[in-house]
Structure 1
Amino acid sequence: MIYYLLALIVLGIDQISKYMIVKNMDVGQSITMIPQFLYVTSIRNKGAAWSILEGQRLFFFIVTFVVLVIVIYYMQKIGRFRPLLGLALAFVLAGTVGNFLDRLFRGEVVDFIHTVFGSYQFPVFNVADSSLFIGVVLIIIYILITEKKEKKNGSFK
């Protein structure tokens, strides 16, 4: 199925990019890509977004398993028939597996995309995080479109 292939491609990009960071940069090292905006900064994260729940490895394994079961279920049940939802679930799948593999094999997540907006420094993230974000945004769009169609057709409850 095309959505699993997309997930595999995004997962590959995620894992290759993290491998390159680990092999070629020291932790804390930063390379300027666009001054005052974009940097490649090698950091490690033992928690979730913004390092919350640091050290809760078992919790992350359980959550990952639950998310994967739900995503694969919806991919098989609905996603393969609804392109936008299938696309969204592919991105969620890739991001979930990408960060899971880091936790499983490294004990921590490799983050490296560092953006700055004026004096605000956004937390450093990676391709898997971006994939999760894109997937969630697409799910929200899918829900809003579906809800609008159901209201229009009078089948909204």
Structure 2
Amino acid sequence: MHSGRSSLWRWLILAALVVLFDQITKIWFDTNLQFGERLHVLSFFDFTLLYNTGAAFSFLADGQGWQRWFFTAIAIGAAGLIVYLLRRSLGEPLFCTALACILGGAIGNVIDRIQHGHVIDFLLFYWNDWFFPAFNIADASITIGAILLVLDELLKMRRQRRKPGKG
């Protein structure tokens, strides 16, 4: 049981590092840029400072404030489920990496929602007049985690097909 606990801690530490990096970058941009200000970096990428009261792609951002607590509750519930899944899946490193990334991102954005009432976004990709919604390290970590979950499932399916007698 001791080795299982230490394995769980490894994934929780990864999630905590995501939260730490996310919060440090958000504090830096919130302190050093004015709302809406953009710092040009590349022909398709700027740093900016925007606030999102909604969820991904500003979903429900025009709500009257109730969405703050709604998304906070969803993230806290998801965090509990993720920790449960981590404990049950310690022998699956790709799956656990994915879950740790999602956990860290969810907690990073929950901290913003509780502390500020919105999520701080600062990464802006665009092409000519087309703009991808601004996002942050937590969002990027959640996206990476989701991609890793899909990859993990595809690899599991591939292994299942290769087992003898599974023609």
1:13 to 21, 38, 43: 21
Identity %: 32
Q: TM-score, normalised by structure 1?
A: 0.92
Q: Which runs of 5+ in 2 are unaligned?
A: 1-8
Inter-partner Cα distance in structure 2 for 1:43 and 1:96: 18
- The structure with the largest alpha-carbon Rg is 2
Q: Deviations over 1:101-123 (max 9, x none)?
A: 00000100000000112432111
The 4+ residue runs of structure 1 with deviation greater than 4 A are none
| Matched residue type, 2:131 | Q
Aligned residues: 154
1:33 to 11, 20, 41: 41
Q: Deviations over 1:55-104 (max 9, x none)?
A: 312211221122111111111101x2111011111100110000000000
Inter-partner Cα distance in structure 2 for 1:124 and 1:154: 47
Inter-partner Cα distance in structure 2 for 1:89 and 1:154: 30
Which residue is equivalent to 1:73? 84
Inter-partner Cα distance in structure 1 for 2:165 and 2:104: 33
2:71 to 56, 60, 83: 60
- What RMSD, in angstroms, separates the aligned Cα atoms of the two structures? 1.5
Q: TM-score, normalised by structure 2?
A: 0.87
| Matched residue type, 1:51 | S
Inter-partner Cα distance in structure 2 for 1:140 and 1:46: 28
Residues 143, 25 of structure 1: CA spacing in aligned structure 2 closer, same or farther, 3 A cutoff? same
